[in-house]
Amino acid sequence: MAYHQTTDCFEAAQGANYQNWWSRNAKKLKRWIDGLVARHRKRRQQRIDRQAFQHMRLLNDDILDDIGVTRSNVEWASQLPIDQSASQALRSTMKRARPRIRP
């Protein structure tokens, strides 16, 4: 009879330990999942931004010149890794704004 009481207490203690483990690690697990979701959202936004930037590759040289960039700069920026902003890198290479008179 005493053996059964010890087993019952042992099982109850294991259940308490299981609950304590969840209470100790629930916040860590939530932070990990939140971080994973944030990284996924950031990467998705980077892909969307890069797709929008790829439109500049279709513009003709006159329009690119009006914007203040060259085709080679656009090609260079489009080849950057996705975690680097192509538009910010291109902005750093832009020519100074200058008045231009077209014939």
Q: What is the mean pLDDT of each run of 10 residues along the chain (103 residues)?
A: 53 62 84 95 92 90 88 90 88 67 61
Range of the domain at 84: 2-93
State the pLDDT at residue 18.
63
Residue 12 lies in a domain: yes
Q: What single letter denotes the amino acid at residue 91?
A: R
Helices (H), the chain: 2-54, 61-67, 71-78, 86-93
Tell me the C-alpha distance between 34 and 38, whole Å: 6
Specify if 100 maps to a domain: no
> What's the pTM value of the predicted model, to 2 decimals?
0.58
Which residue has 């020519």 as its token pair? Answer: 95
Q: What is the pLDDT of residue 35?
A: 96
Q: Note whether residue 98 is domain-resident.
A: no
103 located within any domain:
no
The answer to whether residue 22 sits within a structural domain is yes
Give domain status of residue 20, yes or no.
yes
Q: How many domains does the chain fold into?
A: 1
Spatial separation of the C-alpha atoms in residues 33 and 21, rounded to whole Å: 17
Asked whether residue 99 is domain-assigned, the answer is: no
